[in-house]
Structure 1
Amino acid sequence: MAIKLIVGLGNPGKDYQSHRHNVGFWFCDALANLYSATFKKESKFSGDVTQVTISGLSVRLLKPNTFMNRSGRSIQALAKFYQLDAVEILVVHDELDLDFGTAKLKAEGGHGGHNGLRDTIKALSTKSFYRLRLGIGHPGDKSQVADYVLHAPNKSELTQIQNAMTDALQVIDDVVKGDTDKAMKNLHTKD
């Protein structure tokens, strides 16, 4: 099944843009940049939306303006409006359980404590959507997670995150075309 919507999870506003929690936004920005697309605010979807053509297929990019914990509202509004099935959606998010520089593609699954995913699962009433997980490392202690995700990565971490995004951008054509097995094989197999 082809992907028709790519959602980057993050928090809106200048205060949050450099935070680890916003790597989903960064990925959507990189994708929009790659295809010379510009986001515009769409109040009916509570988010910033643009459209790109990847491998001949029309794909919408969405950055919810609802803050991380309410991401599902924005995703559900757009999916409902364009009559998209959950399996046609790719959600891009930060992943504490992956090291910096790691990008993993996943078909469905739980939320793993990620509030943006938790709200998306609730809003779509299913776990059956694709995820692109971008590693941001773990602070080491559960009690430090909230503070950790709301801070900017250091220079070396940022470089590694950017490398992971580059790796993911190289397989996005296959992901969009629905050839997720090929995309996973290429993304998950490092030289």
Structure 2
Amino acid sequence: MTTWLVVGLGNPGPTYAAHRHNVGFRVADELARRADAPFGAPRGMRAEVAEARLGTSGLGGFGGTDKVLLVKPRTYMNDSGIAVAKLAAFHKIDPAQVVAVHDELDLDLGRLRLKVGGGDNGHNGLRSLRAHLHTGDFARVRFGIGRPPGRMEVHAFVLSDFSAAERADVELEVSRAADAVELLLTEGLVAAQNRFNS
């Protein structure tokens, strides 16, 4: 039996919930909804965790023995790796079985990209994961949010809500990113890249 750790990156609390930086949390929520798996807060883990089974057709499906932990760190984005490393150590999960879902400035809204490894590209959540897992060799589902308009600072942009015009696209992309995670888990990285990398 394989145990996967799928971590949505974001900041905890209602203040941040709709921000561009929190799309990882929204994808984790969508995956938990599909699996009918409620989030709980395991003692000492500094994260909300939902436990699901992976069937041949995806999360919550039949015939599966693999386990999937859906994770939303309760630390702030910059310390995400603390929660992820604790969970990985407790459940004996190798970094190769970790999937991080995160916002990506270098991709326009409506584009996804899956890969394994690489740098953090200035993303503080990825930087923290790499530091605490002692490797960058985990899978990433990169959710495009585009670049800030005009002279807007990156920090202000990622910590702002999507515009009214973008919200329908965001809902669609959250669903598509959840599809990409499920395909990555059931059929592997190459199959997921072939279908979703744009």
After superposition, residues 61-100 of structure 1 pair within 5 angstroms as: 61-100=70-109
Give 5+ residue unaligned stretches, structure 2: 56-63
Letter in 2 for 1:28: A
Q: How far apart are the structure 1 equivalents of 2:133 and 2:150?
A: 31
SS at match of 2:31: helix
Letter in 2 for 1:112: N
After superposition, residues 27-46 of structure 1 pair within 5 angstroms as: 27-46=27-46
Indicate the residue corresponding to 1:48 in structure 2. Answer: 48
Tell me the CA shift for residue 142 of structure 1: 7.5
Indicate the residue corresponding to 1:134 in structure 2. Answer: 143
Tell me the CA shift for residue 90 of structure 1: 0.2
Higher share of residues assigned helix = 1
Aligned length: 188
Letter in 2 for 1:160: D
Indicate the residue corresponding to 1:6 in structure 2. Answer: 6
Q: How far apart are the structure 2 equivalents of 1:141 and 1:70?
A: 30
* TM-score (structure 2 length as normaliser): 0.89
Give 5+ residue unaligned stretches, structure 1: none
Q: How far apart are the structure 2 equivalents of 1:125 and 1:141?
A: 37
For the Cα contact (< 8 Å) 2:85–2:132, is it kept in 1? yes
Indicate the residue corresponding to 1:169 in structure 2. Answer: 178
Q: How far apart are the structure 1 equivalents of 2:191 and 2:89?
A: 29
* TM-score (structure 1 length as normaliser): 0.92
Alpha-carbon RMSD across the aligned residues, in angstroms, is: 1.6
For the Cα contact (< 8 Å) 1:27–1:92, is it kept in 2? yes
Letter in 2 for 1:50: A
Pair 141,129 (structure 1): closer, same or farther in 2 beyond 3 Å: farther
Percent identity between the two aligned chains:
37
